Amino acid sequence: MVSESLIEIEGLNFSYGQRPILKGIDMTMERGKVIAIMGGSGSGKTTLLRLIGGAVRPTSGYVKVAGEVVHKLKRDDLFRMRRKMSMLFQFGALFTDLSVFDNVAFQMREHTDLPESMIRDLVLMKLQAVGLRGAHELMPTQLSGGMARRVALARSIALDPLLIMYDEPFTGLDPISLTVIGNLIRRLTDALGMTSIVVTHDVQESLKIVDYVYFIADGVIAAHGTPDEVRRSVAPFVHQFVHGEEDGPVSFHYPAKPYAQDLKLEGSFA
C-alpha cells in the first residue's frame, strides 16, 4: 500500500472466445495522475477498463489495484473495492428514473447510513463542484449531453473514490462542453487527490490535461510517454494517430485477400 503506483498491470491477456483483444499489456499508474489510454476504435481500451473494474476476468496476467489482484477477489471484496473506484460511462449512464439529486445521492444512500440532511449537503457540494447545483431538481431527460456528463461526474465523485475511470468522456460534446469536462477532470483529480484514467480517442483535448499517455493498438501498447514526448514523437503509429492521418501503421483497409483475387480477375491477368 505504500507504493506510489495505484494500479499495476502485468502480462495482461484477454480474449473473447478465440478472438484475442489484449495481448500482454504492462502498465503502472501512479497516484494523483491523469492517465490517458488512446487507441483506435475497437483496440481494446474499454475492455482494459472493464478488467480494472473487475467486470471481466483476464485470460492470463493480472491487474493490481492498491496492491490487490482484482480477479482473485471474492464478490464481497470486489464490491468493497469498487466503492473506492468509480466509472464514468460514455453517455453518463444516469439513472433515468431518478432526479439529478437522487442520482448523485444514490451511492451515499446505498452504501452509507448518513442522515438525509448530511446527504443533502454533500450532494449539493458535489453538484457545486461541477457547476450544476441549480439543476438538482431536474430529471436526466431534461439535461443536455454535456450537463448529463457533468452530473455523472458529480455522481462518480460522490464517495470520494481513489480512482475514476472515464470511458470516452468527450464523445458527442460541443467544443465548449468538451473543454469544460476536460478541465473538470483535471481540477477534480488535483483537488480530491484521486487518480484518473481517461480512455479516449480525442487526442488534442486529452493531451492538454493528462500527465501520461498510453497508446494501444491491436491489443498491445504501441507507445507511451508524457504529452510532450507524444507530440514530438516520430514513431509512425503515434504520428499517424496524433495528426489523424488516413493511412499509416493503422491501415485504411481491413485485412483482406488481394483485391484482384477477390474480384476473380487473376485468370485474365495471368
Per CB under 8 A, residues contacting another protein are 53, 55, 78-80, 82-83, 85-87, 89-91, 93-97, 106-107, 110-111
For the chain, how far is it from start to end, CA to CA, in angstroms?
A: 67
Q: Which CB sits closer to another protein, 199 or 242?
A: 199
Q: 225: which strand partners?
A: 213
Least CB distance from residue 229 to another protein, whole Å? 32
- Residue whose CB is less far from another protein, 112 or 179: 112
CB 227, min distance to another protein, A = 28
Smallest distance from another protein to CB 123, Å: 15
Residue among 93 and 220 whose Cβ is closer to another protein: 93
Nearer of residues 73 and 250 to another protein, judged by Cβ: 73
- For the bound state, the minimum distance from the C-beta of residue 96 to another protein, rounded and expressed in Å, comes to 7
State which residue, 62 or 89, has the beta carbon closest to another protein: 89
Min dist. Cβ of residue 268 to another protein (A): 33
